[in-house]
Amino acid sequence: MADVAVDVSGEMSPPSAPLQQSFLKIPTELPDPKEWISKQRQNVRSWILFTQTSNFKVPPSLPRLGKRIMRNIEYFQANYLFVFLGLVVYCLVTSPLFLIAIAGTFYVGYRLNKRQQEKKLVICGKELTLAQQYVLITVCSWPVYYLVGGYGVMFWLMGASLIIITLHAAFYNIEAIIAKDEDSYTLLEQV
């Protein structure tokens, strides 16, 4: 028998992972803010549908409650984001000292960014990168945030968001909406 050379070079790709739900994916890079916001605005469901009181029902069982919450979060993800942003605006308007402290932090970050382009910052003979400078600004801002009541604002914001979003996701009957969509699709299919 003659030896036959078989070329086995090339690149192999690992098998694809099972599909994850879109809201559970961990981003590997930061998206462009303008593009991300426009995408979220396109995904906003009708606010009339979101607040329709006839769709609020008590879940029939505990296992269905978990499924309902996950489906609602996936379906109304952009709406929940805008609810959260509305609460952020409310917090900033009702606590002006916290707003001033945040504005001061962003101003210092802006000035350091401008300075970094002209001249590098050197402390104790070591040049600091822009990311290290931002971390330093953040750490130095924490005492100021504490003095102006920022931690209370942040905990209120997280708590209120969690409660409002969880209550809506738990009691909104998404199954009725999806069943209506499927019925209209089958009607179109029959025509």
Q: Which helix (H) or strand (E) holds 157?
A: helix 150-171
Q: Note the pLDDT tens digit of each residue in 88-115.
A: 999 888 988 999 999 999 999 888 888 8
- Given a contact cutoff of 8 angstroms between Cβ atoms, the answer to whether 167 and 39 are in contact is no
Residue 17 predicted with pLDDT over 80 = no
**Does the structure show a pLDDT above 70 at 181?**
no
Residue 146 Cα distances to 100, 109, 157, 167, angstroms: 13, 19, 15, 30
Provide mean pLDDT across the span 52-57: 87
Asked whether 45 and 79 are in contact (CB, 8 A), the reply is: yes
Which of residues 54 and 187 earns the better pLDDT score? Answer: 54
Name residue 127's amino acid. E
| 13 secondary structure, DSSP code | -
Residue 160 near residue 84 (C-beta atoms within 8 A): no
Between CA 45 and CA 77 the distance in angstroms is 9
